[in-house]
Amino acid sequence: MISFGTIATSILLLQPPQPTQPNPTAQPAPTVAQPAQPAPAAQPAQPAAQPAPAATPQPAAQPAPAATPQPMPGAQPSAVAQPQPGPVVAGSPATPAANPHPNYTDAEMQALQQRYNLDTSSETPHRVRWKCLIADPTCGFNVELNATSAYAYRLRQGDVTTGAVSTWHSGRAQYDVWINFPAAVETRGNYRFTRMTLGPKVGIIASDGKEISANFGFGSRYWFGRKRFSPTLEFSAALVVALLSDRRVGGFGPTRSPIGVTADIGFGIGGFGAIVIGGQLNPPLAREDIPETVRVSSSGMFFVGFRGNILWGAPAALAVTTHAVTQRSVVAP
């Protein structure tokens, strides 16, 4: 019989031999260079012993408060008179006067004020009346109605071949509306005062012969002070256009006229009134292409009179009177 060991041996002989796997060569581990460590510094010697802190002195014992004497039973405490403070005298060291400019002396401040024309005086403006309908230095913008009554010395060109000139005495009444804007102002403390006004004006001019002309221009007034009745200097100039006249064919009615010019200067008291001196020039309308009946000769006038605000009555009354007398009494050549 075949034994178990013989069978096992035959199986082992029949199997093919297995190839031998070579072992990989072990790679050496990379060597990392370590930086050289500095040698530890020598430790300093132990510090010297610190001196012991000085002993803090203990505060001296406070004396015990004195015992308050108790009043005896039945006795009334007497009132002790307290000292009263005396009156403080002005200028004493206890109440030094406040100096508004401690870095300058009074003489230096006066020199500074004179150099820059500074005025330290305080002035309270007066109360405005009539809602600024009468010009006033404390008003800015205002509107006023003026009336002028004046004596007029009139001239008119006659025959140009002989050089004749007609002259006569007449009157002039004028009614204007002035619109005033402040052109120059003055500041005093917290208040402002108008020193000069300038603005447009429009009105009518009446003279003898039922002549009525329109004028439109400008008016100006300069104040020499800040009070209601301060003196003033007035100036006005305007263009003049004739509207109505009775020196036309067919009697009184509209008339053609070139544009003339008028100007005056006045010296017044506040916005109430002024004495005015002025003149007026009307150029001719004498072209050859116009009919002879509508031609106008050169004319003009010099006048002196009074102009004032109509609100206080007198200027308006004088102007109306001058207008009426001129129409009824003056006869032009």
Q: What pairs with residue 241 in β-bridges?
A: 214
Q: Which two tokens stand for residue 220?
A: 């100006």
The rounded distance, in Å, linking the Cα atoms of 258 and 251 is 20
N residues, the chain: 333
> What pLDDT is attached to residue 176?
97
For 289, other C-beta atoms within 10 Å of its C-beta total 4
Residue with tokens 């330290």, as numbered in its chain = 120
Model pLDDT, residue 61: 52
Question: Which regions of the chain does DSSP assign to beta strands (E)?
Answer: 142-157, 165-188, 191-207, 211-223, 231-245, 253-254, 260-269, 273-282, 299-309
**pLDDT value for 5:** 61
Give 228-275 pLDDT, tens digit per residue: 899 999 999 999 998 888 765 566 777 777 899 999 999 999 899 999
Pairing of strands 260-269, 142-157: unpaired
Q: Identify whether the C-beta of residue 298 lies closer than 8 Å to the C-beta of residue 260.
A: no
**Residue ranges in the chain modelled with pLDDT below 70:** 1-101, 118-123, 160-161, 247-251, 286-289, 292-294
**Number of helices (H) and strands (E), helices first, in the chain?**
3, 9
Cα–Cα distance for residue pair 230/251, rounded to 1 Å: 48
Q: What are phi and psi of 297, to 5 degrees?
A: -85, 165
Structure token pair of residue 113 = 């004020």
Domains of the chain and CATH, by start: 130-329 (2.40.128)
pLDDT of residue 269: 94
Q: What is the pLDDT of residue 92?
A: 45
